[in-house]
């Protein structure tokens, strides 16, 4: 699944800057997709955003996507437990 969101050899610097800026996008779908791309490429800025989705996501879809992605990348099984993710980070 990770290969769907990453480029061979990692992100180029200009793409990294653009994606990082999208983390704060008002459209949560865009912010979540940027976080996915960055997290798969081990960019640390993405992890707090994903953890925040678990805490504040009004839609279960965003919480679920963030939790699944965090679990997939880290190997930890914290689900929707915001406190455990926050303490991990």
1-12 residue pLDDT tens: 343 444 455 544
Phi, psi of 75, deg, nearest 5: 80, 0
Which residue pairs, CB below 8 angstroms and at least 24 apart, start in 27-32?
28/53, 28/57, 28/59, 28/62, 32/62, 32/65, 32/66
pLDDT tens readout for residues 10-57: 544 556 667 778 888 888 888 888 888 888 777 787 888 889 889 886
For range 64-80, the mean pLDDT: 91
pLDDT at 51: 92
């Amino acid at each position: 699944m990770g290969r769907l969101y990453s480029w061979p050899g990692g992100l180029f610097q200009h793409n990294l800057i653009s994606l990082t800026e999208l983390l704060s996008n008002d459209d949560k779908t865009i912010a979540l997709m940027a976080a996915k791309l960055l997290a798969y490429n081990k960019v640390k800025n993405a992890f707090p955003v994903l953890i925040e989705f678990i805490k504040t996501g009004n839609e279960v879809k965003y919480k679920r996507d963030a939790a699944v992605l965090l679990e997939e990348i880290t190997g930890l099984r914290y689900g929707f437990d915001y406190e455990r993710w926050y303490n991990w980070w």
